[in-house]
Structure 1
């Protein structure tokens, strides 16, 4: 069961500035850049994919840190552990804590914040929702267009799974990391969810 996250006070607003740290994670889809501080993860930057990685949506490449600050704050450690599990052992993400998140967009009281927290908590691995369905979940059924804006501004992709939001037609729609990456992530989750279900059925 996924943890419900509680927003934390942003020290950038009226307090001492964050001591930002950085780490780069080499993943099956390329270099993922992560930044954050002791309070939480600030941002995840995804690579732009021009071609699909070998092995389609199989986790054929392990995740490893290629560079970063020697002393990583706990939220960045948790973030890299969570992303490793997501790509290489998806069943493990349910057992791992979601790292604290510390971006101003997620701390201000707004519909965008409501949409992003709703997506994080309610749309699970291997699932997909339409923009309208997510608007309904977030409490405003007429705000499908605003949901699209919230997806474009999401600072923590994959952990806040904006790739799971698709068009009502079933088309994958736009994505900050590009359509190829969005389709890869959806395919990865579908395959891994099927594997997990097969493993459960095979257990005595």
Structure 2
């Protein structure tokens, strides 16, 4: 397993993956800049490039080989998350309906919270039924930032 630490607008981001694909993206709460990766491992170069494009606003989707580890149910939820369009949100209830079991809403929410590939598998696009920014493993401030970053109605300057 290869690892890289890069800077992102959300903080220092830890990437893990190998030839089977990207397995983890984590934003670190505490980190020392001197530990940033100087040379990105070859298997993570495309990940770094696509994330950079996303944060620059020039990428709205990812074409990466993914290898998240989880249960079959979690993987089913994570696959469904990838169908949520950039700049859009859905509720946990809507996601449960998409998966064919409205009664599984708590299990769907739990699987969403275990997503190891933040941003690439867009769990931040799932909100409460009332539109509220409910739980996010990376913290609500990061979820708010990601949703604002993807918002089609960004504030324009007047001059």
* TM-score for the superposition, normalised by structure 2: 0.85
User: What is the CA–CA distance in structure 1 between the aligned matches of 2:46 and 2:99, rounded to whole Å?
Assistant: 27
**Which has the bigger relative contact order, CA under 8 A and spacing at least 6?**
1
User: What is the CA–CA distance in structure 1 between the aligned matches of 2:90 and 2:153, rounded to whole Å?
Assistant: 18
Q: By how many angstroms is 1:147 displaced? A: 1.0
Counterpart mapping for 1:1-204 below 5 A: 20-48=1-29, 66-67=36-37, 70-73=40-43, 76-90=44-58, 92-94=59-61, 98-105=63-70, 108=71, 110-120=72-82, 122-190=83-151, 193-194=152-153
After superposition, give the CA deviation of every residue in 1:9-44 in whole Å (9 maximum; x if it has no partner): xxxxxxxxxxx1111121112111101001101100
Distance 1:68 1:102, change over 3 A: farther
User: What is the CA–CA distance in structure 2 between the aligned matches of 1:81 and 1:138, rounded to whole Å?
Assistant: 32
Q: Which ranges of structure 1 fall in alignment gaps of 5 or more residues?
A: 1-19, 50-65, 199-204
Q: By how many angstroms is 1:70 displaced? A: 4.9
Q: Which ranges of structure 2 fall in alignment gaps of 5 or more residues?
A: 31-35
User: What is the CA–CA distance in structure 1 between the aligned matches of 2:18 and 2:125, rounded to whole Å?
Assistant: 27
User: What is the CA–CA distance in structure 2 between the aligned matches of 1:128 and 1:135, rounded to whole Å?
Assistant: 14
* TM-score for the superposition, normalised by structure 1: 0.67
Aligned residues: 150
Cα contact 2:11–2:28 (8 A) shared by 1:
yes
Cα contact 1:78–1:98 (8 A) shared by 2:
no
User: What is the CA–CA distance in structure 1 between the aligned matches of 2:78 and 2:69, rounded to whole Å?
Assistant: 13
Q: By how many angstroms is 1:69 displaced? A: 5.1
User: What is the CA–CA distance in structure 2 between the aligned matches of 1:70 and 1:85, rounded to whole Å?
Assistant: 16
Superposed CA RMSD in Å reads 2.0
